[in-house]
Structure 1
Amino acid sequence: MARSIAINVAANTNLPGFRGPIYPDGRFVYIPIPEREPTTTAVPTYADLLDRLDPLPFVVDDEIRQLPVHLDPEFAGYPTCSQYTYGDEHGVKAGPLSELQPGDSLYFYATLSYHEPPDSLNTGPAVDWVAPDWGAYIIGEFRVDRVFDAEACASLSETDRERLASNAHCKRDPFDAKVLVVGDSDSQLFDRAVPLSSVDSGSTANRLVTQLSNDSGKGPWWRRRLWFDEAATEQLREIVDSKQPYN
């Protein structure tokens, strides 16, 4: 049976200073963090991405628009992306991620701020689970195809380097990933988010966190890795597939 891990990704109030938006119908915009390390090749800027995504409900300063992005995770179909890869240089996350096996799930969650949609965006009926200010939401999933642990990352073959060349850590100078995860064709960036927060407050975890994951939901849980065992993963997958929140 499959297991799963959920990790925090995407733009936040520290990097680059704002969160991606979530709308009343549960749709959202995935915005990565800025790239803070040297790269061997040019990487997309915020302008490159934002000009190809739906209009945002707020203005992004020109200074930020010119910043390069650390586009990790990458999702096939997202601007400038053609596959599903994720890398991490931090041992605290790399160790648990290295234990994932083919068929397991790697979920990505982000903190998102509530916004009314821009006039140009046609949205559906409002749902009743979007937090009024900000919240934490699962935004995508990799069905794991292959995992490269620290030892494998230190000795990537030329074939694997070419296959993984689009990953943000493979573009860094020097390459710094301690783990690389490749998702299979069943991976996806969701069209609507799955809430981890309560409907009342972003800082309050719902039962996906407190009853299904290994986390207590106390303190800044939305910054931590969430681990789901086999039984919890089965329930989580059913919830994600049904698109019904579990508050």
Structure 2
Amino acid sequence: MEKIALVNVGSNEDNIGRSPIFEDGTFVYLPIPEIFDEENYDVSFRFPKYSDLGLEEFSEVDGYVHYDPNFEDKTYGHVNRGFGYETILSSLTEGDILCFYATLSFKGHSEKKLDWIHPKWGTYIIGLFEIKGVYTKEEFINLPYEERFQFIFNPHFLRKEHGANLWIAGKKDKFGLLDKAFPLHNSENNQIGNDFVKNNFKTSGGKQAGNKNYYRHAMICHDNLDKALDQILET
């Protein structure tokens, strides 16, 4: 392990609303909706709906699910979006750790919640992979079938065109979705990161992570890796 990366995933206020976090730190992971265009509309039967995954209680609509990252199969298909994601993700090699974080809205009674849970919404690590491989689109197409098979239920693989710019495979026997979320936000100001973020992570440009709107960016850690990983897993 030479690096730990953080990337933002999951639903938010721009689509079906944020995933919920509860009084004890447990949460529900709501993937973003799958949107079909004219080139892909006839493959909708390949995709589950939120109700198929038992998520209809938490989703504002029961549409098709873009289940990515897939925490069971340990796959993630990344489409370029800036904010340092491509630089950081393409730098990952076997054995590195990729953590997925999301903005979660608190659901429950404020007087019963754990202190580190923000009363409105906060930013939390929800799961992680140990990297097996990171592939460009061209590299992925040329992988042996048995390696591509890991992605068989990834939404980018289910589409007619395999459109992801980076295809990321995790080791199947390592990590996955966390039982409880791990906080990244400042407890008094959810617009900035906490000490864990500021003391360990940097932006793709090498600046300290955790400043205002930090949750839009990919972040990376090169130092104190074992300690940082232990903190995440001990939540």
Check whether TM > 0.5.
yes
Aligned pair 1:9/2:14, yes or no?
no
Task: Measure, in 2, the Cα distance between the counterparts of 1:31 and 1:170.
Answer: 20
SS in 2 for 1:5: strand
Aligned to 1:44: 48
Deviation of 1:157 (Å): 3.6
Letter in 1 for 2:96: D
Task: Measure, in 1, the Cα distance between the counterparts of 2:135 and 2:23.
Answer: 38
**2:88 and 2:218 in contact (8 A); partners too:** no
Task: Measure, in 1, the Cα distance between the counterparts of 2:77 and 2:158.
Answer: 11
The 5-angstrom pairing of residues 1-247 of structure 1 reads 1-16=1-16, 18-37=17-36, 38=40, 40=43, 42-50=46-54, 56=58, 60-61=59-60, 64-65=61-62, 67-76=63-72, 83-90=73-80, 92=82, 93-116=85-108, 126-184=113-171, 185-214=173-202, 215-229=208-222, 231-243=223-235
**1:213 and 1:232 in contact (8 A); partners too:** no
SS in 2 for 1:159: helix
Letter in 1 for 2:102: A
Deviation of 1:25 (Å): 1.1
TM-score, structure 1 as length reference: 0.81
Task: Measure, in 1, the Cα distance between the counterparts of 2:87 and 2:210.
Answer: 22
**1:134 and 1:202 in contact (8 A); partners too:** yes
Task: Measure, in 2, the Cα distance between the counterparts of 1:151 and 1:91.
Answer: 19
Aligned-residue sequence identity (percent) comes to 31
Aligned to 1:79: none
Letter in 2 for 1:221: Y
Uncovered stretches (5+) of structure 1, i.e. residues with no partner: 77-82, 118-124
Task: Measure, in 2, the Cα distance between the counterparts of 1:156 and 1:129.
Answer: 43
Task: Measure, in 1, the Cα distance between the counterparts of 2:68 and 2:98.
Answer: 13
233-242 or 135-144: bigger deviation: 233-242
**Residues 56-101 of structure 1: per-residue CA shift (max 9 Å, x gap):** 4xxx44xx11x1111000011xxxxxx1101112164244212211
Quick one: structure 1 residues 181 and 161, their matched pair in 2 at CA, closer, same or farther if it must change by over 3 Å?
same
Deviation of 1:241 (Å): 2.6
Task: Measure, in 2, the Cα distance between the counterparts of 1:70 and 1:189.
Answer: 16
SS in 2 for 1:101: coil
**2:140 and 2:148 in contact (8 A); partners too:** no
**Residues 93-123 of structure 1: per-residue CA shift (max 9 Å, x gap):** 2442122111110000000001118xxxxxx
Task: Measure, in 1, the Cα distance between the counterparts of 2:184 and 2:224.
Answer: 14
TM-score, structure 2 as length reference: 0.85
Task: Measure, in 2, the Cα distance between the counterparts of 1:232 and 1:34.
Answer: 36
Task: Measure, in 2, the Cα distance between the counterparts of 1:28 and 1:153.
Answer: 33
Quick one: structure 1 residues 14 and 232, their matched pair in 2 at CA, closer, same or farther if it must change by over 3 Å?
farther
Letter in 2 for 1:115: K
Aligned to 2:205: none
202-211 or 154-163: bigger deviation: 154-163
SS in 1 for 2:231: helix
Uncovered stretches (5+) of structure 2, i.e. residues with no partner: 203-207
**2:192 and 2:213 in contact (8 A); partners too:** no
